[in-house]
Structure 1
Amino acid sequence: MTETEREPDIRSPDPIPEAVARSRGRLSLVWLIPLVALAVGVWLAVKTWSERGPIVTIEFKSASGLAAGQTRVKFKDVDIGQVKSIDFSPDLKTVIVSAELKRTFADFLTEHTRFWVERPRVTLSGVSGLDTLVSGAYIALDPGQAGRSRRHFTGLEQPPVITTFEDGGRFRLRAPTLGSLNIGSPVYYRQIQVGQVIGYGLEPDGRAVGIEIFVAAPHDALVTPDTRFWNASGLDVSLSAAGVQVDTQSLLSVVLGGIAFGTPDTLDPAQAHDPYPEVFPLYRNREAAHARIYARKERYLLLFEGAARGLTSGAPVRLKGIDIGRVLDIQLQLDTEALEFRIPVLIEIEPERIVRRGEAEAPDERRLVERLVERGLRAQLKLDSVLSGALYVDLDVDSGAPAGRLVRQGEHLVIPTRPGSLEAITTQLASVLEKLDTIPIEQIGRDLSQTAAGANALVNAPELKGAVIELEATLAQVRATATRLDRELGPELTKTLRESTATLERARALLSDRSPLYVETQRMLQEVANAARSMRLLTDYLERHPEALLQGKGRGR
């Protein structure tokens, strides 16, 4: 035994207790509890950190309806995050909303991702966000699939019309002005809504407006490189010889504006086209959209002597009733030497509107116009609308016109003209008035007055009045005679007719096949027929035996 393990001396009167030290070979189990708790805590921290979603900051103009720790972030009405804090920007112009999203959305937070606050909205295009009246406002997310990763975003003030995952095609249009179009304005095809306007803005040069539209699938396949877009807003009213025509897509397009599109049918064969253009032009109406567009244009000068009231820039130039160009400019010139006025009119023609046939190689443009002028091609002002008095330039070949010549004045070739239709009518009216002046209207008036006086004297003559009185008396006598004959002869004629009817009835009874007379007559005719047959037999016998007249009929004969 060691000294520490020795028993105390029993012989000592006051033994002193001593501590006994024992060595331990391993740790106590008590320390395992905090170690396990520490490990679990570390594991939970690592797990929480690894499962923690991305933190994004969204900048809004105001935090109306948002609350830290309460407002949710949703995608397709499914919670994907929550607002953690709301703070101001350094310049105090906006609010910065910090939100934590689910880890699965980290890959969709790109530069194309959009955030906005979903709250009740009432616009001309419809009502949205009514469910937030009960659940409260929330932040909606439209994820972007392509682009650089981003964690700071600027929130939209209005929800986007089209989200990323909607199938369809986006197209860009270019128009001189926006008109009544707005975000949400409908897009029509054959008066059926197939899309809507999703954005607009000025072009970089500031000379036009760029409009972005979305056409939902499968209708986006209807858009081809030849498709024409036109503004279908409001009412398109046109006045022509056929009457008043009103063209509109729907009442919604009248209020909100709208765009329509279609592909015009042409006589030209189908051709291969390049890929879709980056920008489609937006025409002002259907008529302008379906009009053919040609790149080559030729300008000519026309010189008119008469008045050109009603002719304006942009007026059509027509050949055989078909538009081939338009008027560019109109001037009034004075020849100071002759002191005469004339009106030069500059027109622009699209030669490709005239399809040429019968020549292997197209002739020179100027030579062709020269030949037409030699054969009588002339320009004339004609009335386009009776109500408005608008004029247009009519080109036509007058076979009776003298041979003309195409000349040049300044930079332009001059096509000969002839007096307008209004001037021709005025000349004809003047000629008619001159002929009317040669007619002796006063003498004719006197003769008509004398004729009327003679007719009046004849009508008021006493002899005519007496003849009329005698004619009335004669007619009265004829009427009295007819009345007397009707009164006296009527009963006699009725009686006679009745007797005649009775006689005919009796005659019909005698001639009936069942009457005694008819039976007796039939019997008599039969006996006469038998007698005639006996006579014929006697005659035949005497012809064969004439001696029988003397000797009689012998035996055996």
Structure 2
Amino acid sequence: MNSGIDPLPHQAELPAVQIRRQRWPSPVWLLPLAAALISLWLLLQNWLEQGEIITVHFPSAEGIDPGNTQVRYKAVNVGKVKSVKFDANMNPLVTLALNREMSDVLDCSAQFWVVRPRIRGAEISGITTLFSGTYIGMLPQRAEGELAENESTICYQALEEPPATKPNRPGREFKLMTDSMGSLDIGTPIFYKQLQVGEIINYRLSADSGQVELDVFIDEPYYRLINKNSRFWDVSGIDVRVDSVGAEVRMESLTSLLIGGIAFETSPEQNQGLPISPSNTVFKLYPDQASSREKQYQDRLYYTVYFNGSLRGLAEKAPVEFQGIRVGQVEKIKLHLDPKSLDIRIPVLISIEPQRFSEELSLAEAPKLMASLVERGMRAKLENGNLLTGQRFIGLSFDEKAKPDLIAKGQFYDVFPTSPTPVEELSKMAAKIADDLKSSLGGVRQFIETGQLDKTVENANKLLLTTETTMTEAKQALTKAQAVLDQLQNKTLPGASQNLDKVSASLVTALAQVSTQIDQLAMQFEGSLTAVTTDFDQLSNTLNQSVTSMTQTAKQAGTDFKRSSVEFDQTLQRLQTSLTHLDRLLAQNSPTQYQITEMLDEVTAMSRSVRALTETLQRQPEALIRGKKEWEEP
């Protein structure tokens, strides 16, 4: 069927295609070939750089991300965490892939730790991990001197904190020995005349002495000031002292108040011609500056002392003084029970430095000196050091009333003789007075109970009755004599010439009778009086002896009490002086209180600043590097 459209025009025939064969491949293949070569080169380089793969036991895998967490040594990437899994005890087991350079220097003593932000003492570390994330730090090997004898032999130790390292600056290391750390830590500064000249780099507990051993680093040139006469002491916090002279407040610096510190000094007089102390020289760390300035002696004599009274207030390290000068200290106080006799004693071990009596005294001559002093009357006595706190110390003094004594040989140490305190002496005297009074009253009571007093009173009563009877008879005789005399005067005298002989005879007879009766009365009275006098003499002697003993004891007690009263008055005067100084110190407008108030204001302001800084870091950790952001209110 035909349509209205014309058929297509005739098309010309296309030319035939001619195919040519090329000898070389197309340049397009150069791209995959280059990619293959680059891949082979990367694989070869990776194989050449690939080092040892090790496994480390970490206490915690916090912050460790397999495939992302890097291993760094001195801020250089030396490996990567390959995997993290658990061992048989369900502890994290981290596999590390290290490069070849690190594998060549890796040792079994290598240490690993997780680096994160830490604040330790005056040191802040790991701040960069706030932006880059945590990573694993490492120490490939340690020197032989850094390995401890009792350290574990397990390879590749994982640590909780970074190990202590020596600062990379000129200086010298020394060692300090102390009984306790206190507020000291790694990074705690060391001061010389309030200038920071070093720091603490490590610490450990000494197994031999039981003390804490501090490794300190002193910068150059300050370590050249240290010799064998140098003294180190702790300056942490504030040192406040109150004595009879007044009050003293010392603070090294604000840094030592917050994080602690150590100071040292060397006397210029003792620094002349002495060599500089070599590295790792051991020094003693004193608790304060006052104790560091006390002269130290190596030679000591040890004695045991026994006291009868209570030892309340006496503690170890308490001073042993001679006339107010410290010559030793109390080393140990121990309660001892004898199982056989059940006798309880409290031996007190003291040490005496004989060179404090004479610096030229040798240790061999010291025991002889102490023995001579004891023979002269030196005794150890408990003394009150402070009436407010009740602290006590041992005083050495010469006692004139002490009985002769010697230093006795003990089981472990020689026994030093002691003398009682004034209070104990007063107690003994009071007990002696009570015993004498009790003995006297007992003698009087015994005299009464034996009936001798009743017999004496009965004899006295009989004597009085006899005397009364004799006096009556004598009165009658005198009456008769008076009658005879009256008769003689009135009747007989006129006829005296006739009856003179009779009157004389009668008078003689009457007088003889009176004389006889008076003699008998005198003999009876003398006998009764002798018996009464004998009984009263016995009673009087007993009472005289008791009164004499009581008088002597009371006199001695009065003397000792007077001496104790004088000492007590002097102590009260010193206490009053100390309280006066303390009152001046604590007065409302005193300079010391003003300085303390200013210092507390500064500390308060500093605390507020530190608090504001801490809150800012908590909200904006990047503020340490980028600065504080100024937030705009909408």
Q: TM-score if structure 1 supplies the norm length?
A: 0.52
Q: How far does residue 205 in structure 1 lie from its aligned partner after superposition?
A: 6.3
Q: 1:354 to 1:151 in 2, by over 3 A?
A: closer
Quote the residue 2:388 is aligned against.
Answer: 387
Structure 1 residues 417 and 83, CA, compared in 2 at 3 Å: closer, same or farther? same
Q: Is the 8 A contact 1:57 1:151 kept in 2?
A: no
Structure 2: runs of 5 or more not aligned = 1-22, 147-152, 337-344, 427-556, 566-634
Q: In the alignment, is residue 319 of structure 1 matched against residue 322 of structure 2? A: yes
Answer yes or no: is the 8 Å Cα contact 2:81–2:94 preserved in 1. no
How big is the shift at 1:362?
9.4
Deviation digits for residues 45-81 of structure 1 (CA, Å, limit 9, x no counterpart): 897378525345363344444445544444454x433
- Structure 1 residues 110 and 362 mapped into 2: Cα distance closer, same or farther (>3 Å)? closer
CA distance in 2, matches of 1:429, 1:395: 19
Q: Which amino acid in 1 is paired with 2:355?
A: E
Distance 2:94 2:311 in 1: 68
Q: 1:395 to 1:66 in 2, by over 3 A?
A: closer
Residue 182 to residue 419, structure 1, CA distance change in 2 (3 Å): closer
Q: Which structure's residues are more often helix, by fraction? A: 2
Q: Which letter does structure 1 place at the counterpart of 2:54?
A: T
SS of match in other structure, 2:156: strand
Q: Tell me the percent identity.
A: 31
Q: 1:422 to 1:385 in 2, by over 3 A?
A: farther
What is the CA–CA distance in structure 2 between the aligned matches of 1:110 and 1:433, rounded to whole Å?
A: 75
Write the letter of the residue equivalent to 2:318. A
**Contact kept in structure 1, 2:197 and 2:219, CA below 8 Å:** yes
* Superimposed CA distance per residue, residues 384-404 of structure 1 (whole angstroms, 9 cap, x where no aligned partner): 334334343444568xx5898
* Cα shift at 1:166: 4.9
2:183 is aligned to: 180
- Partner of residue 139, structure 1: 136
CA displacement, residues 211-262 of structure 1 (integer Å, 9 cap, x when unaligned): 4444444444455455444444344444433334444444444444444444
Please say if residues 206 and 213 of structure 2, whose CA atoms lie closer than 8 Å, have aligned partners that are also in contact.
yes
Which residue pairs with 2:54 in the alignment?
Answer: 57
Note the 1:12-91 alignment, pairs <5 A: 44=41, 48=45, 51-52=48-49, 54-57=51-54, 59=56, 60-77=58-75, 79-83=76-80, 85-91=82-88
> RMSD across aligned C-alpha pairs, in angstroms?
5.4
Pairing 1:78-157 to 2, within 5 Å after superposition = 79-83=76-80, 85-91=82-88, 92-101=90-99, 104-105=101-102, 108-111=105-108, 113-122=110-119, 125=122, 127-142=124-139, 144=141, 146=143, 153-157=156-160
Rounded to whole Å, the distance in 1 between the matches of 2:81 and 2:352 is 69
C-alpha deviation, 1:351, in angstroms = 0.7
Distance 2:416 2:364 in 1: 20
3-state SS in 2 of match to 1:54: strand
Residues 368 and 203 of structure 1, relative CA distance in 2, 3 Å threshold: closer
Q: Secondary structure at the match of 1:134?
A: helix
Query: Aligned letter for 2:244?
Result: A
How many Å separate the matches in 1 of 2:300 and 2:363? 16
Contact map agreement 2:232 2:265 (CA 8 A) in 1:
yes
Q: Are 1:162 and 2:159 counterparts? A: no
How far has the Cα of 1:171 moved from its partner? 4.1
Greater C-alpha Rg: 1
Deviation at 1:323? 1.1
For residue 408 of structure 1, give the secondary structure of its aligned residue in structure 2: coil
Q: Is the 8 A contact 2:405 2:417 kept in 1?
A: yes
Aligned CA distance change for structure 1 residues 270 and 405 (closer, same or farther; 3 Å): farther
> Are the aligned partners of 1:232 and 1:258 in contact in 2 as well (CA < 8 Å)?
yes
Would the aligned equivalents of 1:231 and 1:259 in 2 still touch at CA under 8 Å? yes
Q: Give the letter aligned to residue 325 of structure 1.
A: G
* Aligned 1:405-554 pairs, distance under 5 A: 405=404, 407-411=406-410, 412=414, 414=416, 417=419, 430=561
Q: Is the 8 A contact 1:55 1:151 kept in 2?
A: no
Shift of 1:371: 4.5
Question: For residues 298-317 of structure 1, what are the structure 2 equivalents within 5 Å?
Answer: 298-300=301-303, 310-317=313-320
SS at match of 1:324: strand
User: Which has a greater percent of strand?
Assistant: 1
Q: Distance in 2 between matches of 1:183 and 1:82?
A: 29
SS in 1 for 2:78: strand
